[in-house]
Structure 1
Amino acid sequence: MVDAMMDRVKSTEWSRWRVGGDTIDTADVFWLHTELQHIDQDVITAPRPPGDRRGDTRFVWQDYSPELTLSIATAVLRDALTGYRQLVETNFPRFGHALGLYSILPARAQGFVIVTGADAPVEWPPTLEYTLHTDPVATPSAEPKVHLELIEEADVQPNQWMKLAEDIASSVFRLPGVTQQDITGSNEREATNLAYTWLARDLHAVGWLGDSPYLG
């Protein structure tokens, strides 16, 4: 299927498909085709391990222990940074350094995964809070370093660890000191979506992209 799409990409200026309710286009197909060349297995494994909690759970994120949630969040950030770099280098090879996040690469991520404490009256989805920094000792193609700590609290405000964050100035815009998002477990493409979110915000900042669902 990807090979057939790639043949169409090569013969058209821009193509778009609807697959399973999602829209993909030339850039998506080109990136996926390139990535598949690096995979030796006949079957691609699931991006997330099975849950390690058993029981009658209502939400997907309840199937995962705090420790496994931390491991998944770490992998999501690491893969998102790699995916973002590949998206920029594949689609904007001459303009990458004009983009905010790309201009600080290679980057490392630091932050916390916050899960509801055992004594809390209501259990909330885990929250990932992170900040991105330039990694001065890493090579551009090295696997990004991600360091997250696990916090089991009912409610933890970002200002409790704001001292760890530092705004990173670029030629285009200033990255937020802390980014926060829920880890629901219901989306198996969290790393991909995060990479596209960073790219969309970069392109929007330089005026190359209007409104986008990734800017929300």
Structure 2
Amino acid sequence: MSINSSAPARGLFIVFEGGDGAGKSTQVQRTSQWLQSAGATVLTTREPGGTQISEELRSLVLDHGHGEIDARTEALMYAAARAAHVQQVIIPALDAGTHVICDRFVDSSLAYQGVGRGLGVDAVAAINSFATGGLHPDATILLDISAQDGRSRRIANTGGIEESDRLESEPDDFHERIRMAFKELAAENPQRYLVLDATEDIEQLQSQIVTHLTGLL
């Protein structure tokens, strides 16, 4: 006797990218709420992070006070945190039919370490391909913002006091290189990327995101 059963449809892997202060966290939350209101099961997560070891690595690589971290070590720490995140959290959730919304993924490493730190996009892509097993987002939302606007937003969100991690405290020219790197990645992958002006109204941004994702669902 056979039992009719079907595996759940694979979940959608949605990633939000952009410079610091672009408003990714806000749109991650709103997008999750929209999907849940439509009856979907949703997991929101972030990088580096998402697992105990990944959160420990996040602290080591982003918090001040852990000594000097050279560019190669930084890139490998991000990749290690990502490997645990993908294997332990993201892939199991997607396979179970859960939509996964992630604040940053591989493209952040390509931008920050590949371009910002000068390691080269190809080199950083190679270690992250190994770390992720070749996993790619189904959709990447890029919230584009200038370094100056991003810094102003971060300061405003902390009551006028600039509280920056190791990467946020880099000078504006570093963050402008990151911005250009993201734009180039988006131009090379137009089928995957939705590029939005992060200075637009929050509701306008969410409306454009919903329209884009509805087409994928």
TM bucket, shorter chain: under 0.3
If each structure's helix is expressed as a fraction of its own residues, which one has the higher value? Answer: 2
Bigger relative contact order, structure 1 or 2 (CA pairs below 8 A, ≥6 apart): 2
Computing the radius of gyration from Cα coordinates, the structure with the larger value is: 1
If each structure's strand is expressed as a fraction of its own residues, which one has the higher value? Answer: 1
TM-score (norm 2): 0.26
